[in-house]
Structure 1
Amino acid sequence: MDSTYSSFEHRLKDNAGKIEALLNRLLDDASLDDEIVRPARLLSAMRHGVLNGGKRLRPFLVLESAALLGGDADAALRIGAALECVHCYSLVHDDLPAMDDDDLRRGQPTVHIAYDYATAILAGDSLLTYAFDIIAAPETQLPADRKMALVLALSRAGGIGGMAGGQALDLAAEKETPDESGITTLQAMKTGALIRFACEAGAIAAGASDEDRKRLRLFGEKIGLAFQLADDLLDLTADAVTMGKATGKDAARGKGTLVGLHGQEWAEATVSRLVTEAGDLLSAYGDKANILIETARFVANRRN
């Protein structure tokens, strides 16, 4: 096995463990200063939506992009945890009957199935809010201007012009199939925006130059598109047991995808091209970028 890939796999697993442990501590039942009480059922639902395994790819990108540019590892870990809270909130809400109506997530009942609809909504609301608490808290030891930049970037990536807006476009696509430009915009918002943030956040946390920040942002945009194309390919070819969730739903709902427009062969070639372009962006950093480049390959070749 290639030594870089072996190192990548080890770091992915190790960092996932660190993120899981931090999220477990952050979602403890002890109230923080200025919190009155943490309702047990709500907290349990939040934990169900977050502490259910997963590769923790987005936090991994934060950690590795920060490491590439000399950022503080502990601060990057907390930013990664905040990002994972936003990602998991989006999954809790997306699974609701009014959205994608899924009963299974990572092989487990979704939050609204394990609890109830109202609790799932409140769990998602709480996770989203908590993400900004985690960044702003004094335990995230970064200068105030970097925290402010991170809050702004995450707000833009997750909000009306990012992930939430992308979900709105996704729902609209069930009624009227968008053209290729519309599909690309939808996917860049719903899926790509948080992956873009993950890569850019490491540069922000490290206090890197504008050039480095733009380079990592573009790297994130390319692997975000590769991630979505790979996801669409899996939706077409994988089974529910492998994926840990229902598959084939986009086609069943008549949603347009780039894979549906251009075919599997085009999509596989495009993913390969995007991974190459993403790697070329980081060539200036030499061997220090090997893990991030391997992450781009992992995104393209994943099986679930």
Structure 2
Amino acid sequence: MLGIAFLAAAAPVADAQNARQARQQVEASMLVTGHVDIDRDGRVSAHVLDRPDKLPPYVIDLVERALPALRFEPILVDGAPVLARAKMSIRLVAKPTGDGDGNMQLRIAGAHFGEEYSDSDRTSVRRSNLRPPRYPMNIAQIGGKGTVYLLVQVGRDGRPMDVVAEQVNLTAVGSAREMEMIRTALAKTAVDNARKHWVFTPPDAGEAAGRDYWVVRVPVDFRLDNSGETAHGKWIAYHPGPVQRPAWAAPAPLGFSPDTLVAGGMTPESSRFKLLTALEG
């Protein structure tokens, strides 16, 4: 059921043992997106999943059982609670139960609730030139692939003041040494490219326009073909890296992890949709 790719390379015995340990730890993951409607009390009143016909029934069942239990801070306009709709992305993770029957334990690892991105929204940071990085040749040759989740501090001139790889997740597994090398190479490539080439359009209206800088998140995909995160409703290998957050970034909201964001998009660091309850499922 779950297709997981591994790096094929000759290695010493110690590296082979490390690779086996990594394979035992690897999980499978799927990103489910859609929208939730939030009532004046902060409860989820309705939801819509993107392309549900492409999702396994057991995935739909898990998400639909979890969403009604969520509670948000009520959305206020001029001090009064209003109805609101949030864009949703949920990271599901499946791991073998170890019972010998091939069963998997499925859980919700994280979620993000935010606004729909709009190039015409003058109250938030917008994309101007987010040139994608080149795939490192040495990493491509050994089949290394993954996603680098960048935190970008955008200055008033629209240029990055600082860029940090908040997390690097791999979708191919090797020894611990190989995976560390791949993570380092992908992170450096993505960060260097963003610092050199990326340009944003700062907000010129609304409360955020007067800030000294703004923070956005931009996931960058490195893969060898068109499979992976773009394959809606498909499981992919999942080996998450550690999360690091610079001093200029705000604390992560409840239930959030960087890898709940869809590669190719851009998301403001903060969201008016604040989750009050822990994720279940």
Q: TM-score, structure 2 length as denominator?
A: 0.29
Based on CA coordinates, which of the two structures has the bigger radius of gyration? 2
More helix by share: 1
